[in-house]
Amino acid sequence: MMDIKHLRIGFSPTAMVALSLILGAPQTHAAAITDGLSLPPGFSISVFANVPHARSLVLARELGVVFVGTRADTVYAIPLQDDDGLHPTYPVLRNLKSPNGIAWRDGYLYIAEQHRLTRYYVPSLDALSGARAEVLSTALPDKSWHGNRYATFGADGALYVGVGAACNVCSLHGLEGTIVKFSPPHWNRPQIVATGIRNSVGLDVNPRTGKINFTDNGADGMGDDSPPDELNALSDTGAHYGFPWFGGGNDRTSHFKMVSPPQNTVFPELTFQAHVAPLGIDFYQGTQFPTNYKGDAFIAQHGSWNRSDPVGYQIVRVRFDDQGQAIGHKPFITGWLKANGVVTGRPVDLEELPDGSLLISDDAADVIYRVTYKKP
């Protein structure tokens, strides 16, 4: 693990102290944030770090660091330390345009901003001080509606990026409503591998199939209970996943009800309650959790914003069979949505640490949680 005293990212000691005061909450406050959260027996949750607007998470094993993307303009770094307290958080890249999507591969930090894909060579955290972006592509549509990208590397070594539709329900243009892949060394030539996707903000490689599973958020304005949100499996290149003919699942949109949908429409592998807003997905590969968790996926449900009775605001566990097919889901962590409708947190993304514990980002409480397991 990296020793924090060897971390230098261009801030004076005075600035470091100020950052600690801003980003490090007292332990009593940290405990209050997790109060009322419910997990299965043997599991516990604590606040790992305080990060403003925490969104996407990626582990850089070589550095012993977790990077955190945001919908603001900053990417943060959290060194992994062998201590029992809150981990210090440092802003390492600023003045970006919604750097929500981040990925790590072979010493490079990749950032999918709203309008472009960049990367930074990071042999050490010191190198990020004054680092300049290598612009790989400027092909991403520069539109703020569903403009928060999500990125992950596939088993084929290509970088996959979700590109949301710039609307609630509308016709798609260019790269809108797709998943694209950037294959080295031709980074400036994104290939559309799936279309008809309203807004995917969660992708991960299914370890049993080697293919990518991705979440998709259904349309608004179709009622409290329609359409369902989705979990999909990325299939043949060029497959169509139904939007805008379908708002989610099999539910047709009024805008396109009189128009026949594409014949090759691929329907979701699994559906969730309408408006739970599934975002980040992580297939568990560690050994700390019970053995029957391995190969299953955790999905962060960010929660509804326009439903009469709020839903979501939880982590669900999706069960997969030996062939890598989703067979069901159930709540794993609940309690951010209180009985009186008060919301205390909105989970976004998940990332597994080397010891098998699980990190969860929360952009409402501005924290990252750590979930651990000890046999009861």
Cα separation, 323 vs 198, whole angstroms:
27
Q: Give the 3-state DSSP-derived string for the chain, with helices as H, strands as E and coil as C.
A: CCCHHHCCCCCCHHHHHHHHHHHCCCHHHHHHHHCCCECCCCEEEEEEEECCCEEEEEEECCCCEEEEEECCCCEEEEECCCCCCCCCCEEEECCCCCCCEEEEECCEEEEECCCCEEEEECCCHHHHCCCCCEEEECCCCCCCCCCCCEEEECCCCCEEEEECCCCCCCCCCCCCCEEEEEECCEEEEEEEEEECCCCCCCEEECCCCCCEEEEECCCCCCCCCCCCEEEEECCCCCEECCCCCEEECCEECHHHCCCCCCCCECCCCEEECCCCCEEEEEECCCCCCCHHHCCCEEEEECCCCCCCCCCCCEEEEEEECCCCCEEEEEEEEECCECCCCCECCCEEEEEECCCCCEEEEECCCCEEEEEEECCC
What is the rounded average pLDDT of the residues 191-215?
97
Q: Using a pLDDT cut of 70, give the percent of the chain over it.
A: 91
pLDDT digits (tens, 9 = 90+) for 125-159: 888 887 889 999 999 999 999 999 999 999 999 99
pLDDT at 32 (0 to 100): 80
Residue 14 has pLDDT above 90, yes or no: no
| Predicted pLDDT at 51 | 97
| pLDDT for res 30 | 65
Q: How far apart (Å, rounded) are the C-alpha atoms in residues 164 and 176?
A: 6
Average pLDDT over residues 4-13: 31
In this prediction, residue 235 carries a pLDDT of 87
For the chain, which domains are there? 4-373 (2.120.10.30)
Would you state the pLDDT for residue 25? 44
Task: State the pLDDT confidence band at 296, using cuts at 50, 70 and 90.
Answer: very high
pLDDT value, residue 84: 63
Residue 9 has pLDDT above 70, yes or no: no
Q: What is the pLDDT of residues 325-346, one digit of tens each?
A: 999 999 999 999 999 889 999 9
pLDDT tens per residue, range 211-254: 999 999 999 999 999 999 999 999 878 899 999 999 999 999 99
The whole-number average pLDDT for the span 149-175 is 97
- The predicted model scores a pTM of 0.91
What are the tens digits of pLDDT across the range 104-119?
999 999 999 999 999 9
Least confident piece of the model among 18-27, 31-40, 219-228: 18-27
Say if residue 322's pLDDT is above 80. yes
28, pLDDT greater than 50: no
pLDDT given at position 74: 97
Tens-digit pLDDT profile for residues 253-276: 999 999 999 999 999 999 999 999
- Give the pLDDT confidence score for residue 129 in this predicted structure: 80
In whole angstroms, what is the distance from residue 275 CA to residue 347 CA?
A: 14
- Work out the pLDDT band at 83, boundaries 50, 70, 90: low
What average pLDDT does this structure show over 195-210? 97
Does position 81 have pLDDT exceeding 70, yes or no?
yes
Contact 136, 117 (CB under 8 A): yes
Q: Which of 87, 81, 91 is nearest to 129 (CA)?
A: 91
The pLDDT value given to residue 29: 59
- Over residues 183-199, mean pLDDT: 94
Predicted confidence (pLDDT) at residue 122 exceeds the cutoff of 80: yes
Average pLDDT score, the chain: 91
Residue 181: pLDDT above 80?
Answer: yes
